[in-house]
Structure 1
């Protein structure tokens, strides 16, 4: 299968820097930033399989409230646990 690269006309006309991706790798490794996809400081990543329709409803609600799905789930979990005590 052939790989297709989507590049704008401006990107095609822009001169390329010599050194390629190696220069980018050296710059990013010097910053010592956290791994991509890693949980923020003080947080833990949680993975759960949920029904597709529930996921869609969560995303729609988050969009309507201008919040993230994470914020909705954290609020729901805190409310659930508070009511259990």
Structure 2
């Protein structure tokens, strides 16, 4: 079975760091940028280990709906909690 890597256009266009260093000129011209991997303002980062097949199904569904996996998970969590009340 062929492995498929899911990479967004933004990730493909993002310049890669070499050896974790940046040039002095780039450091001077860079405005305040969120740390890579940091949650957006008003959000919290959540890490969960899920079965590989479930992850694959989520990625495929997100692609078919032109949405992010995050959007699918947030919608599912909101629905779950709404039904618990």
User: Normalized against structure 2, the TM-score is what?
Assistant: 0.71
Correspondences of 1:1-80 after superposition (within 5 Å): 21-28=23-30, 31-80=31-80
Q: Secondary structure at the match of 1:72?
A: helix
Deviating 4+ runs (over 3 angstroms): none
How big is the shift at 1:50? 0.3
Alpha-carbon RMSD: 1.3
| Structure showing greater Rg | 1
Unaligned stretches of 5+ in structure 1? 1-19
State how far apart, in whole Å, the 1-side matches of 2:45 and 2:72 are: 15
Q: Secondary structure at the match of 2:23?
A: helix
What corresponds to 1:14 in structure 2?
none
How big is the shift at 1:67? 0.3
Query: Which digits, 9 at most, give the CA deviation of each residue in 1:37-84, with x for residues without a partner?
Result: 211110000000000000000000000000000000000000000000
Unaligned stretches of 5+ in structure 2? 1-21
Q: Greater helix share, 1 or 2?
A: 1
